[in-house]
Amino acid sequence: MEDINVDVWLYGDLARFAGESSQGSFANLQINLPPGTTVGDLLTKLQMATEERGFTFINGNLSAMPGIQTDLKHELKAGDRIAFFHLQSMWPFQYRHGVSVTDEINEVLHKQKNQALHHTYKK
């Protein structure tokens, strides 16, 4: 089987995982991966610990957020676009009035009290 190509965006401090392709505050990589590669496999390839990322989007759908990283086993497909935002990143403005989500995170969010939506957070 032929490799798949994935369009990977790294924002903020995560751009360092792109090496020479880093533009400082962001990086864009075109990565060829074997079929069946998961988000977890991609993180391993990038040498990025899952805890280093904040919000993650796959094809514009929220797939992970701080403390809820349900996408590690999500299988990537040819042409997928995945964006990793750093932990200090704010919620992207274009999603403030609704966001599409992956099936994996949707299931987890709906099981949580208040469906994981809060105005303030406590440790």
Q: With respect to residue 123, please indicate whether it lies within any of the assigned structural domains.
A: no
Q: What is the pTM of this model?
A: 0.80
Tell me what pLDDT residue 93 has. Answer: 58
> Does any domain span residue 121?
no
Domain assignment present for residue 122? The answer is no
Please write the tens of the pLDDT for every residue from 34-51: 999 999 999 999 999 999
Instruction: Determine if residue 93 is left, alpha or beta; phi over 0 gives left, psi from -120 to 50 gives alpha, anything else beta.
Output: alpha
pLDDT, tens digit (0-9, with 9 covering 90-100), for 82-116: 999 999 876 655 555 567 777 787 777 767 655 55
What is the residue range of 34's domain? Answer: 4-116
The count of domains in the chain is 1
Q: What is the DSSP letter of 120?
A: S
Tell me the CATH number at 19: 3.10.20.30
Are the CB atoms for 100 and 92 separated by under 8 Å?
no
Write the CB contacts of 28 (distance below 8 Å, at least 6 apart in sequence).
7, 8, 9, 10, 18, 21
